Amino acid sequence: MNINSILITGGYGFIGSNFIRFLRKKLPNLKIYNLDKLTYAANIENLKDFENDKNYIFVRGDIKDRSILEILYPKVDAIVHFAAETHVDRSIIAPGEFILTEVYGTFTLLETLKKYKNIKLFLHISTDEIYGSIEKGSFPENSPLNPSSPYSASKTGADRLAYSYYKTYELPVIIARPSNNYGPFQHVEKFIPLFITNALDNNPLPLYGKGENMRDWLYVIDNCEALLLLMEKGKIGEAYNIGASNELKNIDIAKMIVSFLEKDESLIEFVEDRKGHDLRYSIDWTKIKNLGWEPKKNFEDGLRETIEWYKTNRQWWEKVKRGEFSNFYKKYYKREIQ
Ligand code: NAD
Ligand code: DAU
């Protein structure tokens, strides 16, 4: 597929900003439009070094605003749609914004797309959470969807809307379903950055429940490579799982973080469990493997590098913590160790 210009939604978030940086290296002449509302989760410092890049254009705006899309769509050949509300804990406290952004936002992007035949690809970023929890084995792409948080339910709505616009209106949709990403520029409300930055300051690490929950951790650059491959070789109308087979219990990751930072395990504090907390996510990613992708980063190396990044970029995350004290993590950040 020959792509000269691309629209990225949510490009100031964690994966979106890593993807823009990755694209710039791989495709230096690509014109990149970044449409981002700049919610609390965005960080314009993530792409500070792009300010003088003539082929990078930031547009502050909402994916639900069709008038902005009508200006941007004629200019691009492809769309990669990351924009979303992404934190499960927030979706439990205040689900409304998730439904509006994921469902109505994705609907607006798709509905507007009907008119623009110049756009050859709509790569929709879904998530492995839409399958729900699985005790044994792994979900292939054709598994029933069984989301269990307002976040994953909203993402399921968006995923199926994207598919329906392929099936009904023949829009050029591909769906990516990555597992838990980690790496640089991730917001400190999320598990790995929260635990690293709290540990760096000798603050408690709030581990939900018994810490037995398992996630499949995928290094963000491996995910970026998978997404680029889907842009190049993915089949229109198909969904692709992107996993790493790096399944770990939260307690084991917490112990790795304290050990790599040479801190004491007593920093780990067992706290009340997340409501409806999914025990284990696991996806079968044979389909994308057959297209020629597999993750390169070993988890221990990736975690060490991520820790190093947060150590070196204290200013970046201290600003985030100072500026954005959401109630559900403020209490853990501020609490003194007994
Ligand atoms: P993030 O929370 O770091 O960033 C989201 C970005 O979207 C922010 O820059 C925010 O300002 C923007 N945004 C939110 N609402 C918007 C709107 N209405 N209009 C325009 N911009 C808006 O997210 P992330 O962790 O980078 O996740 C990116 C995507 O990948 C999401 O769709 C998420 O569901 C999916 N995903 C994430 C992971 C993960 O582990 N982080 C794993 C699988 C899938
Ligand atoms: O699986 C993909 C999903 O991964 C993405 O779609 C979501 O956008 C992303 O936020 C992530 O969801 P999780 O709920 O898995 O990620 P989170 O970092 O919030 O939590 C990871 C695990 O750590 C989970 O089992 C809950 C636990 N946890 C989390 C926090 C924030 C804790 O034990 N303590 C915490 O303080």
Domain boundaries, the chain: 5-329
Which of 188, 215, 217 has the most ligand 2 atoms within 8 A of CB, as the residue to mutate? 215
Percent of the chain whose predicted confidence (pLDDT) is above 90: 94
Give the pLDDT of residue 54: 95
Q: How remote is the CA of residue 14 from the centroid of ligand 1, in Å?
A: 7
The residue contributing the CA closest to ligand 2 atom 14 is 88
Give the pLDDT of residue 333: 38
What does the mean pLDDT of the chain come to?
95
Task: State how far the Cα of 64 lies from the Cα of 86, in Å rounded to an integer.
Answer: 17
The answer to whether the Cα torsion of 9, 15, 19, 21 is positive or negative is positive
**Ligand 2: which residues within 6 Å by Cβ?**
86-88, 127-129, 179-180, 190-191, 194, 206-208, 213, 215, 250, 274, 281
Task: State how far the Cα of 322 lies from the Cα of 301, in Å rounded to an integer.
Answer: 29
Name the nearest CA neighbour of 177 among 222, 227, 240. 240
Give the pLDDT of residue 338: 29
What are 64-92's pLDDT values in tens digits?
999 999 999 999 999 999 999 999 999 99
What are 21-35's pLDDT values in tens digits?
999 999 999 999 999
Give the pLDDT of residue 335: 35
SS in 3 state form for 254-311? HHHHHHHCCCCHHHEEEECCCCCCCCECCECCHHHHCCCCCCCCCHHHHHHHHHHHHH
CATH topology (fold) of 5-329:
Rossmann fold (3.40.50)
Q: How remote is the CA of residue 33 from the centroid of ligand 2, in Å?
A: 29
Q: List, as own/partner pairs, every contact residues 94-97 make where C-beta atoms lie below 8 angstroms and the sequence separation is at least 24, other chains included.
A: 95/150, 95/151, 95/154
The answer to whether the Cα torsion of 69, 120, 75, 57 is positive or negative is positive
Confidence band of 325 (pLDDT split at 50, 70, 90)? very low
Q: Is 48 exposed, middle or buried (0-12, 13-18, 19+ CB in 10 A)?
A: exposed
Give the pLDDT of residue 311: 98
Percent of the chain whose predicted confidence (pLDDT) is above 70: 96
Q: Which helix (H) or strand (E) holds 248?
A: strand 247-249
Give the pLDDT of residue 67: 97
Q: How remote is the CA of residue 220 from the centroid of ligand 2, in Å?
A: 15
* Spatial contact of 304 and 260, defined as CB atoms under 8 Å apart: yes
Any ligand 1 atom below 6 A from CB of 82:
yes
Give the ligand with the smallest distance to the CA of 36.
1
Q: Which helix (H) or strand (E) holds 125?
A: strand 121-125
Integer distance in angstroms from the first to the last C-alpha of the chain?
Answer: 59
Any ligand 1 atom below 6 A from CB of 12:
yes
Any ligand 1 atom below 6 A from CB of 41:
yes
The residue type of 259 is: S
Q: pTM for this one?
A: 0.96
Q: What residues are labeled active site?
A: 128-129, 151
Q: Is the pLDDT of residue 292 over 50?
A: yes
What are 200-249's pLDDT values in tens digits?
999 999 999 999 999 999 999 999 999 999 999 999 999 999 999 999 99
Least confident piece of the model among 40-54, 218-232, 258-272:
40-54
Which ligand 1 atom minimizes the distance to the CA of 10?
Answer: 7
Q: How remote is the CA of residue 41 from the centroid of ligand 1, in Å?
A: 8
Confidence band of 334 (pLDDT split at 50, 70, 90)? very low
Confidence band of 1 (pLDDT split at 50, 70, 90)? confident
